[in-house]
Structure 1
């Protein structure tokens, strides 16, 4: 069972999304009323350090469970998940039907969990075909922030828990879009999972969802989506070294915030994909693809001169822990999208070769630009 610490914010978030409205509010408790039944109300404790908080919480979950006709522990689990993303790594062995997997498979499943998150964290910062000894130290640091929950039945499931408690990325009080430095880091765990979802989807499209092997160009292009030799190794850890027939990754996004745009909720690999996965891994290890930096931020200024084939964009971002402004050129079609995102105060992401010498203007030769699909925020007002 996945549970995290339950406090007032988790309870209020759950009730708000389950057809309840606040009717009375006080310092130590609130009364919430069912929108479906005006005669049904519950008392919500607010002080988690109060001696009777746990007892009142049990009474609350029991009442909600009775109304929803399901077990109280299931309600408690969903309440606890309001501000966490849970990524389920599942291994299945066709020859075993009792919900277990071989010891060797379990060892490699746990090893794969770490390698998946480290490779996704690295690809969220820089795109490379293979990191090797250049794996960013910060990638390991970010992966260490995540936690492993209790394993669950369903073949064999290892849940990875990460924070999904966000602040607004854009300053609400400024007349122009400005990045809120204190909120920028709160999104990184979600961005890791967004990268992982897209990278695994791309890898599965090459290795599982087709009848022929991918071309070399397709393998190299997959780096743009976050695929790396390390990601391939993480999947092969389970299928090849662990000797299981199925390995899938399921993303359970926190109910309190919108799921990332265009991110799949589940990706599956089978033992039949081992050969292609090995080929992709080997190709990316030998590739000489230049490393490209990934930057997240908000657009501060735009400039488009008459008869020019490109427009100039200045984006506020964070580089090495400091707020910086990076300037870059975009073709006219992409520039028009940038102008829309600027008007919406929507966070954006750019990929390319960065030149950011200390004490001088930072510039980037951009190869990719889009809205930041992992952080949905418009007009400085968070949607969550």
Structure 2
């Protein structure tokens, strides 16, 4: 722990702030932070990340925090290192395994399925589609961009670490341009939210006392469920040495969790029958493919005599900034106006047309504040 830590002063300050600490004194070299209470604890935070003794000072800080918070030093270190990240824990368990290990075959399937679930969720974040066959390149990139944390005891836990810096400060009212760097960070949060909602829907269908109807399976596609996600899930639970897979979503403390997302979902071998039935329906039935775009409202046009309004949403298409044009009915147009005035990013679902050399247009089936971000509910009212 005396090595140079993989985080800096900003992560330390954010971690302390969300845990009730406050700065009381300092200079450009270090700050003193206080935790109000009976003990009136004070810790020193080093601020010069390039200083020769930065690692040593951080080690002392971690030791102090572990003592005050009655935690393991490694747990405090990991919490600071991931304060700007969402951490998705995949836990494989079996009653016969009591030492925190699982057989090699089960571990292999867990790691491979972690990748497959993430890529399938990224694909569903871009397109609602029951069976992809070929993933969009942006979805495949997810497997290279997210990180895996150290495996942990507690049966066998594999953490998936993805970016989630607070979006509260990224856009302002009347914003005229999106920021590609910001959108890349927000895409990670959107993928995790899609994964959480999709697995939540699958858990609900698997725990019901009847088979899901074709209509329910079709509706699940709109929440991010796909044949590929079902297959990745089944691969883990179908291994004889794993009888339960649960997935926990630990949302970043500096970015409020997205609305209507479960914190934990659990699948046992009894769920396999339903998952396979859903998977088969998604593979053999034809479902309409719809694109999903995310961005900010930059253009609004509606004449007094017009019923619908014309709206331009700036987004990233193939990682390039473009305006997508759409016509919205009065009620939805008013939502677009509020999102523009308040600087709230939006999510739009529908059929996208991008003719070469022409304007990008979308026939909209769903429009509203981006539900992956914490201010969506207020803006949609």
Q: What TM-score do you get using the length of structure 2 for normalisation?
A: 0.90
Find the partner of 1:225 among 223, 232, 247: 223
- Determine helix, strand or coil for the equivalent of 1:106: helix
Distance in 2 (alpha carbons) for counterparts of 1:171 and 1:67 = 37
User: 5+ residue gaps in structure 2?
Assistant: 377-381
Instruction: Specify the alignment match of 1:359 in structure 2.
Output: 357
Shift of 1:66: 3.1
Q: Report if the CA contact (8 A) 1:32-1:43 is conserved.
A: yes
Distance in 2 (alpha carbons) for counterparts of 1:4 and 1:359 = 49
Shift of 1:86: 1.2
Shift of 1:239: 1.2
1:115-264 correspondence to structure 2 within 5 Å: 115-132=116-133, 134-165=134-165, 170-172=170-172, 175-208=174-207, 210-241=208-239, 244-264=242-262
CA 1:22/1:150 → structure 2, altered by over 3 Å: closer, same or farther? same
Question: How far does the alpha carbon of each residue in 1:8-63 deviate from its partner, in whole angstroms, 9 at most, with x for none?
Answer: 11110111122222233322222223333696432211122211112111222222
Question: Once structures 1 and 2 are overlaid, which stretch shifts more, 220-229 or 65-74?
Answer: 65-74
Number of residue pairs matched by the alignment? 373
Shift of 1:166: 5.3
Find the partner of 1:288 among 276, 286, 289: 286
Instruction: Specify the alignment match of 1:72 in structure 2.
Output: 73
Instruction: Specify the alignment match of 2:369 in structure 1.
Output: 371
Distance in 1 (alpha carbons) for counterparts of 2:219 and 2:174 = 40
Shift of 1:197: 0.5
Question: Once structures 1 and 2 are overlaid, which stretch shifts more, 342-351 or 73-82?
Answer: 73-82
Instruction: Specify the alignment match of 1:114 in structure 2.
Output: 115
Q: Report if the CA contact (8 A) 1:166-1:183 is conserved.
A: no
User: 5+ residue gaps in structure 1?
Assistant: 379-384
CA 1:188/1:237 → structure 2, altered by over 3 Å: closer, same or farther? same
Distance in 2 (alpha carbons) for counterparts of 1:247 and 1:72 = 28
Question: How far does the alpha carbon of each residue in 1:151-194 deviate from its partner, in whole angstroms, 9 at most, with x for none?
Answer: 2122211111122235677554x854532233111211111111
Shift of 1:231: 0.3
- Determine helix, strand or coil for the equivalent of 1:225: coil
Instruction: Specify the alignment match of 1:43 in structure 2.
Output: 44
Shift of 1:321: 2.1
Instruction: Specify the alignment match of 1:382 in structure 2.
Output: none
Shift of 1:339: 2.7
Distance in 1 (alpha carbons) for counterparts of 2:96 and 2:40 = 53
Distance in 1 (alpha carbons) for counterparts of 2:324 and 2:344 = 17
1:11 aligns with 2:12: yes
Question: How far does the alpha carbon of each residue in 1:288-330 deviate from its partner, in whole angstroms, 9 at most, with x for none?
Answer: 2232111101112333455655333221111122221111123
Shift of 1:262: 1.7
- Determine helix, strand or coil for the equivalent of 2:252: coil
Distance in 1 (alpha carbons) for counterparts of 2:344 and 2:178 = 11
CA 1:151/1:64 → structure 2, altered by over 3 Å: closer, same or farther? closer
1:331-350 correspondence to structure 2 within 5 Å: 331-350=329-348
CA 1:112/1:15 → structure 2, altered by over 3 Å: closer, same or farther? same
Distance in 2 (alpha carbons) for counterparts of 1:70 and 1:223 = 41
Distance in 2 (alpha carbons) for counterparts of 1:89 and 1:39 = 38
Distance in 1 (alpha carbons) for counterparts of 2:5 and 2:140 = 23
